Amino acid sequence: MHEYSIVTALIEECENHAAQNDANKVSRVDIKVGILSGVEPALLQTAFDTFKLEGICAEATLNMNIQPLVLNCFSCHQQTTHKERTVVCSHCQSTDTKVLDGEDMMLMQLELETT
């Protein structure tokens, strides 16, 4: 399950940002998870809850914004948004599309505390 390695890297990134800002606690972690990112949100949440227990993120909440798939169609020149995993244009049914968003997982925001 690669969610464990993803969470390990996420917590390390949180620790780095906290150290750069002289914070001793992370209370909130906001991430964007694309539906084509290959990350299963429920497993990611479980992994985060498991690995955060020791360290600066021990009391942090993980907020996930699930990013739909955004496609640009080269056939009809429409931009479409999809909540399912498909690269077919919903306007013209073409597969000649380009993914604009929805493939990545990104750290968007942290709430840090200096108590």
Consult the annotation and say whether 92 binds a ligand: yes
Q: Is 14 annotated for ligand binding? A: no
Q: Is 73 annotated as a binding-site member?
A: yes
User: CA-to-CA distance for 83 and 96, rounded, in angstroms?
Assistant: 19
H or E element, residue 49: helix 41-51
CA of 29: how far to CAs of 5, 38, 63, 64, in Å?
A: 17, 20, 6, 8
Angle subtended by helix axes 3-20 and 41-51, to nearest 10: 50
Annotated binding site for Ni(2+): 2
Annotated binding site: 2, 73, 76, 89, 92
Annotated binding site for Zn(2+): 73, 76, 89, 92
